[in-house]
Chains A and B, each alone.
Chain A
Amino acid sequence: MDLKLRVWRQKDANSKGGFENYDVQNITTDASFLEMMDILNEQLVNSGQDPVAFDHDCREGICGMCSLYINGRAHGPDTEVTTCQLHMRKFKDGDTITIEPWRSGGFPVIKDLMVDRSAYDKILQAGGYVSVNTGGVPDANALPISKIDADEAMDAATCIGCGACVATCKNSSAMLFVSAKVSQLALLPQGKVEASRRAKAMVARMDELGFGNCTNTGACEVECPKGISIAHIARLNREFLFATCKE
């Protein structure tokens, strides 16, 4: 199929960006969205132009590196997939596709469609772990964990840190991302020990970094490629409240 692309181009963080139009031809429906972008870039390189910069690595929906706002939706029109797993069969011949970077104060643009998500690392550095050193830990089967809790912890743990939730939220809130980690660890006995301390530290770091508040619009849940549920935000609030009550 033939497509018209409207792509956000921006030289670097300090430049002003704008849309450029490109045509691509003969794209098969079996190609992934990023393969379509590869074809565009090959075309640009061959005609002496600067290719479009975008983040990607695993191309199988797990590393969380790809992003892209496609026709006004984070990770495009398909549900529960990342941009790299989106396939061109979701589009029609002659479509115009608008491609933008994540738009959020917390994620400044680096170039074209690439953004800086290091704020996510910083939030996790504040406490997104169990404070144990290597070695000297108990046997793995010493503490039985109910399958239900383990499964729910796993649901939360599947967050890939892509940033779609922030990009979609009108408040640029990182609550879904933060709650996924807080919830995962609070559900497990190993993480429970420091659960409220963790919640408090991570929320404080999130605020410091300029992410907005959660007003329960639920938009994040809809666009999350891993189906992380906003129920985790409720658990985060519980741990957070507990932490502030103790003070």
Chain B
Amino acid sequence: MAAIELRDLWKRYDRVEAVQGINLDIRHNEFIALVGPSGCGKTTTLRMIAGLEDITAGEIRVGDRVVNEVPPKDRDIAMVFQNYALYPHMTVYDNMAFGLKLRKTSKAEIDRRVRDAADILNIGELLDRRPKQLSGGQRQRVAMGRAIVRNPQVFLFDEPLSNLDAKLRVQMRTEIKKIHRRVRTTVVYVTHDQIEAMTLADRIVVMNFGLIEQVGTPDEMYNAPKTRFVASFIGSPSMNFLPCRVVSGGNGSLALRLTDKLSLAVPPERAARYRSHLDREMVFGIRPEHISDRRPNAGSGFEEFEAGMEVVEPMGIDTMVFFSIDGIEICARARPRAVGPVGEAMPFTVDMNEMHLIDPANDRVV
């Protein structure tokens, strides 16, 4: 239970600059999710916090001490690995008791803690088994139990759910959330799955090419992404991006010209923010859920247009509709009943209050 600080943290392998000077403050008892595409340096960052990887430059603080030179065994950190890394020659009980035995905890205390953790994780009947007699989901639980019993300052997870099948993954996700509520500690959770990050984390850290793109609450990441990368990475299906030109709409208002025939008015409250980009080529970003079938009396900031449907994917509650503007494929999310047969033109409404304007020069959201 401690805060973690990363200061200008660098990691260089022989040729690869895996982590390139990141700064991050993780609060006491906070659940932080590190997300990003494969190879962006998430695991490396986590391993440096654990002490399993040397730090090329920078500083890591856990609580109020700098741990750069502290060996893993003295950092009081527990880690759950992607492949669980259980001790195959020990029973589940011994797997969980191992760390406590090394710390010379009394037998009675070990027993109490192991049974408590087994209780939390529902693995009470498995205590006498060996890892190879367990299913994937059970091994996952044991791996977490092994971390919980030690009551460490910091919990690290490295893609703990990626070896489970889809259904179990969702189930364990909820479970992890429940456990975090019961066993309050600081958690750093690495995943490449933005849904896991959104559902679990207090704050999300999006990484790309060894750098942090943005840090924020799930809500901020979704509603106010700062870069095009974050905008496209968070949310599923991902945000639509269309080249556009910011033009004057008369009366001091602005509009986005997408094609010769299609222009969308910018809501007046945003006009001031975008004015400096007048007459420039920009990128218009809008999530599928903000393009829908036409709604009567939609309110201000809603713009309408028509397009021919190309592909329709019913998902039950909503139907994803794909069409293209100027050869760029756009995805919209419509009510199933409003969607006609493929090939027909369909009227759409865009909620321009949810739009993002991206400067292609630096891929930042303005």
Chain A bound to chain B: no
A residues whose Cβ falls under 8 Å from a Cβ of B:
none
Which B positions have Cβ atoms within 8 angstroms of A?
Answer: none
